[in-house]
Each structure stands twice: as structure tokens, then as C-alpha cells.
Chains A and B, each alone.
Chain A
Amino acid sequence: MSAALTLAQAKVQGPAIDWAGLSPLLALFGGATIVLLVGLLRARAAREVLVPVLALASFGTAIGCGIWQLGERSNLISGAMRLDELTIVLTFIFCAAGMATVLLSWRSVAVREASHGEFYALLLTSAAGMFVFVAAQNLVALFLGLELLSIPLYVLCATEMRRSTSLESGLKYLIIGSVGSATLLYGLALIYGATGSTDYAGIAAKVGGVVSDPLFLTGIALALAGMGFKASVAPFHQWTPDVYEGAPTPVTAFMAVATKAAALGAMLRFFDIALLDAQSDWGPAIAVLATITIVVGNVGALGQSSLKRLMAWSSVAQAGYMLAGVVVATRLGVQATVFYLATYLFMNMATFAVIVARERSTPFGDDIRSVAGLGAEQPLLAAAVTLAMLGLAGIPVTAGFIGKFYLIDAAVAGDYTWLGIVIVIGSMVSLGYYLRVIAVMWMQSPEPAEAVPVSPATGRPALAGGDTVADAPRAQPEVWFVALLFGAATLVFGIIPSPLFDLAVRAGSAFAGLF
């Protein structure tokens, strides 16, 4: 009785919570809850139409809140997270990727099997985790964010429950992702041990004193490895091709774009704020990792016949390019990475949308034969993929070219000219597989459908797990919309890049300590 009275008299104040700053996160969590509840309704229309619309609306609200808060800089929840331009711009990328994923999975097998409410709720939760991950400026929040984004993704990978490769993909991602998380956690613990602080600001203040401490350096190395798992940085990339191939294609698209953006965003904040003064230690190490990643990714992609595997290896290589922006630890580097992430969203989403479209209308699954002759059959879809491929390869008049230009610019300006050359050499190798896709689309005739009705690897129909009636080819305007929208964006932002530059420069301005 008296204890309660004492407490009441002490007027304990909870931490001040900046609800406005948290609004994008709240929109995503709120959306997840609503979607989950509406998914329980019995009406078929509610599940199949209302739920995706609500998911879209949540992502849209999150973007709207982001636009509202753009320009604000505040600490959220006692400084655990930081709302600034970097967080918001990356939130735009997660949410845009999320919206595209909702559209791509609208009529997919995965959603039917996992049931609609759960699927979209997991997607929204994962995006919320990404917000926490990139906003984190405290080691604990960083780890929370990582788990919050990863766990829903493990489940999403396995949502095509009647297809064994989907289950395998989920399990593989779970196991390897957990190893990555554990590595990161161990690294964070060591960094805490060396510096005595979990806040980025506190760590940054102590870095100067412990820079040669093996405990601290080991901590950085383990944390780097942990984040490398998420960003598919070689040599921590081995899970990528298998998981990407097995997961439902819309989920793959989301992982390829949003997870990568989250991991690189978190790396930018972690290295450029908490560990900025130790740049001479981690800079060369990340540069070497970037080189390995570029080489491994590009060489791995050569000769892949599954488009999803090809895009997986390509995403490894692209992560290597983007690491150059982390290595240099300059504002230009942050801007270049953010810019490239935006272009990467366009190019990947356009490609994955077409893969989804072709998976549904040919019996070849995601095999490269599914796009053979697409140029004659559906020139607009083929044009979208062509623009995306040219962009990923860094050919001019696509956003990808400007992005690569910016990254090399940042690398050279940050005294890493050799890394710029490595990016260029990687792009040369990448022509070998990007051009092949273009050649197959425009310069080959379509494969006869009855020739290979089953996947040669498994001996089962390539779309095992689907039922033939529901999977019959039909109009899929929302998939076309995604493909054409992002294909057009690749072209338009290659010619008029200033809006993207605007966002990238804003994101870079969030880091006051960089020059």
C-alpha cells in the first residue's frame, strides 16, 4: 500500500515518445494488425480484395507519414532510434517495394496457401522491422530490428507450403539467418564490452581510446559479418541463390530489394556514426569484402539458367557495388549508396514482375526459357526487362548508369580509385549474363510449351503445388503495372535523375559528422 503511494507521489515519468516521428512505424504495425484481423472474415471478397487493399493502404500511409516527417530530425524512444532523412528515404524504398510485392502476390499461390491475412501481416511486420533496423542508434534496437525484419521473412519464404523447395528455402534461410543474427549479436556484445556503451553516440565517443583493442576489432569484424549475411556480402552470401530460388517470387523480390536496402542502411548508420573514427580499420576490410563480393556475385551469375538464381547472384554483385559507398565514409558515399538503392528498387522490381508474369503463363517456371521470344510476344514486358537489365549492367540512359556513376564518383573522391575500377570490371563480367537475358527475349523464338512440361531437376511440373485451374494463364494487370511502372522509372530517372538526387542528398545530410 505504502509502496504504491510512494510511487504515485514520485511522479514517475515515462520516456517522452515522439508519436509523430514514430508514425511510419505505427502505420506499418497498425496495418499489420488490421490486415490480420480482416483476414479472419469469412467473406471471400474481404480476404482476397480488402486485405491486399488494406496492406497497400498501410504502406501508403507509412510513405505519407514519411513525407510529412521529411526534414524532421529527432530521437525516438529515449534515443533508441533516430528519425532522420536516411531513415525516411529508406522507408520510402521499403514501402515501395512492399507495395509492389503486394501487387505481385495478389493472385499468387503463396497467398492462397498461407491465407491472406497472415501473408500481408508478415510482410508489413517485416517492413516495420526494417524501419527499426535502419533507424536504430543503439545496439539493442539494432538487433531487435534485425530479428523483427528477419523472422517474418523466414516464414514468408516457406508460404508455398505444397512446394518442397519453398519449405527448403524457408528452413535454409532460418538456419543461416540465425547464424548471421548470432554472429551480429556476439559482435555487438564485444563492442559493448570494449566501449561500455550501447548507444552509437557513446560508442563514437570511446572509439578513439579502444581502436587498437583486439576485443573491439573482433567485435567490429563479427558485426560486419552479421550484417553481411543480411546484405548477401560474400563470403556470407551462400544462402542467397537457394533461398531466392525457392521462395515465392514476390517474396524474393521483396527480399532482394528491401532487405538489401535495410542492411546497407543499417551499415551506413552503424559504421558512419558509431565507428566513424575507426574508419582506417574497417574501411580497407570492407573494401576487400566489396571486391570479393563483386567478383563472386558476377562470376556466380554466369551460366545460371534460373532467372531467380541469376537475380540472386546479381544481387550479391550489386551489394558489392553499393558497399563502396559504405567504405569511403563520406557524405558522398552515403548519397551514392542511397541513390543506387533507389535505382536498384526499380530495376529489380521490373525484372521480378516479369518473372512472376511468365511463371504464371508458361510452364517453365523461372527458367530463362520462360522469357524466350518475349520481345515478339509481349514487347512492353520485354522492354521493361531490357531496361532493367541494361540498368543493372550500367548502360547509359538508365538510372542504373547514373547510380554507378555516382558510386564510382564517391569511390574515387574517397581515395578508393581502385575500388572504382573493380566496380567497372565487375560490370564487364555482368554483361555476360544480363545480355544473355536480353538476347533470349529478343533474338530467340519462344520455346514450344509441350517440350518440357516438367522441371528437369525435380521431375515434377515446374509449378508443383499449384492447381491447374487456378494457375491457368489469365490477365494479370497488376503485374503488368508493376513491370511497366518500374521499367519506365528506370528510363525516366536515367534521363531526369534530379528528384532522386534530391532524396539522396537529403539522406546524406542526416549525417552531420561526415563531410
Chain B
Amino acid sequence: MNLSILLWLPLAVATISLVLPGAASRYAAIPGALAACVLAVVTVVRFKTGTVGLQFATDHLWIRELGIHYKLGIDGLNLFLILLATVLFLASAVWASFTEWERPGLFFFWFGLAESGVLGALMAQDLALFVIFFDLMLVPFLFLTGSWGGPGRVPAIIKLFIYTLVGSLLMLAAAIATGVLAPGGQISFAFSDLVTRRVSSGSQDWIFLCFAAAFLVKMPAFPFHGWMPDGYRAMPLPVLAVFSGILSKVAAYGFLRVVLPLYPDASVHFQELMLLISLASILYGSAMAFTTTNTRLILGYSSVAQLGFITLGVFSLRPEGAQGAILQAVNHGLVVAPAFFIVGLLAARAGGSEDLRDMGGLAFRAPVLATLFLIVTLATLAMPGSSNFVGEFLILLGVFKAKVVFSVIAFAGVVMASVYALRMFIRAMHNREGPTVTSREMTLADGVVLVPLVLAILGLALYPQLALKKGEGTVVRSVAPAQQAAAAAERAEVTP
């Protein structure tokens, strides 16, 4: 199967929507997103579990003078993230087409470009191509938010854009340096060439920091999250669902795809710094999530905490932790997208306010909505039995084996997650009825978006091995260089 079709299909369909008349263009994004989702499912089914290398690979020399390949491929690292991306974009496209937008053709054009950009970043097997897609996927969100967002959208999105592009541009310089400074031979940015000739340890350090800056800003992690509150407040909800659900995961994925295999020495060197940043994100995100009352921001800060967990797993530099990180990335995406959808439903019932203080008693006449919300809530707090539990368990296991102290503190984050998740559920759905609240059940159309997502959460909860098994070999291989470097560093410490 050709990955280029999966990659460009959403953009192609979206481009058609640009010329369709207004009424038709509202639904134009759905066929593209649906086809991409079906293709992704087919890919997962046809993916051979035993093999470690790339599957469905496409490789063309794109720019000979710069050694940039148009190289796409799927392995255990990105398989389920690609599926997640197509599922979330489909759900969001359906949701968005129920909403009235000004100039819908343009809206869905940007939407399709966003999907192609995200898929490209996930599939890219060339460092330069990865950087290109990583930057490109942000551009549509600039327009989606700037043109269709809430109050204060323009300053918010410019802040977001500058924050994230500062990281991305540093990453660009670092990526070019990785290709140019690589010892010997023809210049090439393909990952398969770069892992065989890594740059010297000295250069790895600053290159690592540049990549870390890009990824930590995009996640966002604790000291780099300045764009998050404004950005989250301003984005239209369907857009926010995919932004929070999948874009932040691309950053976490970048650590496993790019940083650990290419810069293992630096990863070991900065391991404790990264673990500290993760811990700070977990604690800060959780604390903010149970003090703020804006429901969007509760989810936003909980994402900061969850991404902290994922980074923690990656920088345990152990296969268990990394596997947990990938699983948790999928889990969090599946949880946060329906959560934002529910926020939209709640706000519609609370007189348009997204503030917890204006909600309460919403479950009164909406038992189905309440049930679905409860499932999402329990998954968020990693209830035993949910896939999130498995993910967090693996992450903590990895960190426990690598650095005990960090895992002990991280456990506090698990406890705090239940506090903020339950607080949000209780204060929205139960408690005394808010002043402007009119409780009503969700419509069939809402169910079309919400029920499949919740079913996906349940499915993954019943059978998380699906995601784990397919990824196992690749994850072990991605972490191996860093693991070896860590072992070597330890030996060097023991023998003076």
C-alpha cells in the first residue's frame, strides 16, 4: 500500500472543498477524513507484528543537492499514532461539519492541510522531512484559530505560533547540523543513514537541547507552556480537540523517533534534566488543573501533566518506559478529544459558559451523556482496568528501574489526576444546579462523534496488548542506543 495516498488524501479532498459552494463544502472534509481513517485501519491490520523494520516504505530522493529524501514508512512507533490521528481528525471533522462556520470551504481546507501535516510528521523517515512537516502542521492552526476562534484569538494564536516556531526553528538549525556534521560520505538526512554515522558527543549536546526545546514547547511542558492558556481559550473546540489530542503527541513521538536514536550520548547526559522537567510538568499541571475553573484549561493543564508522564517514560531510557509512553500517547489522545467535545456539550447546557462555577446538575436529565463522561473521566485518572492504567504503570515501572526517586515523586501525579478529573466531573454533572443550566440529553448527532471515541477507549482498555505487541520490537530498538550509552556511562563512573 502506498503511504503517499494516505498522507495526501485529506489535503486533496480539502482542496476540492475550497471550490465547492458553501453548503456542500461543509461536509467536504468528512469523505477525506473517513477515507484516511479506513486506510489507516487497513494499514494496522496488514501490519506484520513480528518484523522490526519499516513497512510500507516509500523512498525517493527529493532534493539531491541537500540530501533530503521523501521517505515515508511505518513501524511500531508510529503505527498507532497514525491511527489515532486519523480517528481524531475524523471525529473532529464530523463534529465541525455540524457547526456553522463562516467561509466553510476555507475552514475545511485548513483542516485537511492540518491532517496531512500531522500524518506527514508521523510518517516521515527523513530528518529534514520530519522538520518540514513538524512546522507545516502548525500553519493551518494559525488560520483556523485566527479566523474562527473565540475572543482574543489573534494575539493568542500569534503568541502560540511564535512560541512553537521558536522551538521549531532551533530544531531546523539542529537538524541541518546533524546532517552536515555527520562524519563521512554523501550528505543525507534519512534516519537510516543518520543512525549509522552519528555526530560527535560534543555536537550532540547543543543539538539535543534545540530538539528538546522544540518538542517541550509543542507538548507543552512546564516552563515552556506560556502559550497554552491563551491558545486553548481562543481555539474553536473541534480544532482544539485535534490540537491537544495529536499535535502534542507528535512532540513526544519525536523524542523516540529522532532524539534517542540519533543523540544517545546527549540523551543520557541530559536524562536527569529531562526527568526533572517532566516531574515539574506533572506536579504543576496537576496542581493548576485542580485549581482552575475553566473547563478547557482543566483539560489543558491535565494535558501538561499527562505529557509530563509521557516524557518521563521516554527518558527512563528503558523499553518499558518508552512502550508505556507510546501507549499513553494514544490513550491520552483518545481521552482528551472526547473530553473537549463534552466541554462543548456542557457549555451549550450551561448558558454558553465554559466555567465550572456556572455548571452543576447537568446529569439530571442526561444519563447517557453522564455515563459517557464518566467513562472518559475514569480513563483520564487511569483507573485500574483502563488502558491509561497500563500506560502509566509501564512508565512508572521504567522510571522505577532507572531512577527510583523520580518514580516515587511521580506517583503523586497519579493521585492528583484522580482529584482533578473527579472534581471536574462532580462539579459539572452533580452538585447544585447552576443559575443558567438547562439539563438535556445529547442528540443523535453528538452521539455519532462521542460514542465511537468512547468505544475506542473501552476497546483499548480491554485489549491494550494490541498496541503494545505491534510496537514492542521497534521501541526496544529505538531505546537501545541510549540504553547502551547509559550503561557505558555507569561503567565509566564505577571504574575511575
Contact = CB atoms under 8 A, between A and B. Distances in A.
B65 A439 contact: no
Q: Give the one of A396, A431, A438 with max B CB within 10 A.
A: A396
B177 A412 contact: yes
Contacts of A394: 169, 172
A386 B268 CA distance: 42
Interface string B84-111: 0000000000000000000100100000
Interface residues of A, number: 40
Given A397-B136, A409-B176, A442-B147, A428 B162 contact: yes
B65 A424 contact: no
B180 A395 contact: no
Contacts of A431: 161-162, 165
B146 A396 contact: no
Nearest to A390: B139
A245 B133 CA distance: 37
B444 interface: no
A408 B158 contact: no
Interface string B51-91: 00000000000011110000000000000000000000000
Contact of A412 (B147, B166, B170, B180): B180
Contacts of A427: 169
Contacts of B147: 375, 442-443
B135 interface: yes
Contacts of A397: 132, 136
B162 A443 contact: no
B24 interface: no
Interface in B166-180: 166, 169-170, 172-173, 176-177, 179-180
Contact of B169 (A424, A435, A442): A424
B176 A395 contact: no
A428 B165 contact: yes
A179 B66 CA distance: 41
Contacts of A438: 142
A435 B135 contact: no
A401 B106 CA distance: 24
B136 A436 contact: no
Q: Give the one of A376, A397, A405, A498 with max B CB within 10 A.
A: A405
Interface stretch (A119-127, A357-365, A413-421, A465-473): A413-421
Contacts of B136: 395-397
A319 to B, nearest CB: 19
Interface residues of B, number: 34
A488 B165 CA distance: 24
Interface string A393-411: 0111100011011101100
A390 B143 CA distance: 12
A420 B177 contact: yes
B153 interface: yes
B154 interface: yes
A417 B165 contact: no
Contacts of A282: none
Contact of A501 (B63, B143, B166): B63
> Do most interface residues of chain A lie in helix, strand or loop, or is the interface mixed?
helix
Q: Give the one of B133, B143, B147, B173 with max A CB within 10 A.
A: B173
B139 A395 contact: yes
A148 interface: no
Contact of B177 (A379, A395, A417): A417
B73 to A, nearest CB: 20
A438 B154 CA distance: 10
Interface string B379-416: 00000000000000000000000000000000000000
B176 A412 contact: yes
Given A395-B135, A396-B135, A401-B132, A424 B173 contact: yes
B181 interface: yes
A442 B146 contact: yes
B162 A432 contact: yes
A505 interface: yes
Contacts of A442: 143, 146-147
A327 B133 CA distance: 30
A497 interface: yes
B421 interface: no
Interface in A72-115: none
B98 to A, nearest CB: 24
B128 interface: yes
A498 B60 CA distance: 14
> Do most interface residues of chain B lie in helix, strand or loop, or is the interface mixed?
helix
Interface string B171-206: 011001101110000000000000000000000000
Q: Give the one of A395, A431, A444 with max B CB within 10 A.
A: A395
Contacts of B142: 435, 438
Contacts of B161: 431, 435
B234 to A, nearest CB: 11
A375 B146 CA distance: 12
A461 B179 CA distance: 54
Q: Give the one of B64, B133, B143 with max A CB within 10 A.
A: B143
A420 B154 contact: no
Contact of A408 (B65, B132, B157, B172): B172
B63 A424 contact: no
A424 B170 CA distance: 6
Interface string B346-365: 00000000000000000000
B176 A405 contact: yes
Interface in B126-145: 128, 131-133, 135-136, 139, 142-143
A512 B349 CA distance: 74
Contacts of B63: 402, 497-498, 501
A332 B62 CA distance: 18
B233 to A, nearest CB: 16
A505 B179 CA distance: 20
Contacts of A436: 158
A314 B28 CA distance: 39
A224 B405 CA distance: 59
Contacts of A428: 162, 165-166, 169
Contact of A439 (B66, B131, B146, B165): B146
A439 B135 contact: no
Nearest to B134: A396
Contact of B172 (A390, A405, A443, A444): A405
A413 B187 CA distance: 11
B230 to A, nearest CB: 14
Given A396-B133, A396-B136, A413 B180 contact: yes
Contact of B65 (A412, A444, A501): A501
B169 A420 contact: no
A498 B169 CA distance: 23
A379 B143 CA distance: 13
Contacts of B135: 395-396, 401
A83 to B, nearest CB: 24
Contacts of B173: 408, 412, 420-421, 423-424
Contacts of B179: 409
A505 B65 contact: yes
Contacts of A376: 103
A111 to B, nearest CB: 37
Q: Give the one of A379, A397, A442, A443 with max B CB within 10 A.
A: A443
Nearest to B136: A396
Q: Give the one of B66, B153, B180, B181 with max A CB within 10 A.
A: B180
A63 B348 CA distance: 63
Contacts of B165: 395, 428, 431
5 contacts: A405-B66, A421-B173, A431-B161, A435-B162, A498-B63
In the A-B complex, the 7 residue pairs with the smallest Cβ-Cβ separation, listed nearest first, are A396-B132, A443-B146, A424-B173, A412-B180, A424-B169, A396-B136, A501-B65
Interface of B: 63-66, 103, 106, 128, 131-133, 135-136, 139, 142-143, 146-147, 153-154, 157-158, 161-162, 165-166, 169-170, 172-173, 176-177, 179-181
Given A443-B147, A498-B63, 13 more contacts: A390-B139, A396-B131, A396-B136, A405-B128, A405-B176, A408-B172, A412-B180, A412-B181, A421-B170, A428-B165, A439-B146, A442-B143, A443-B153
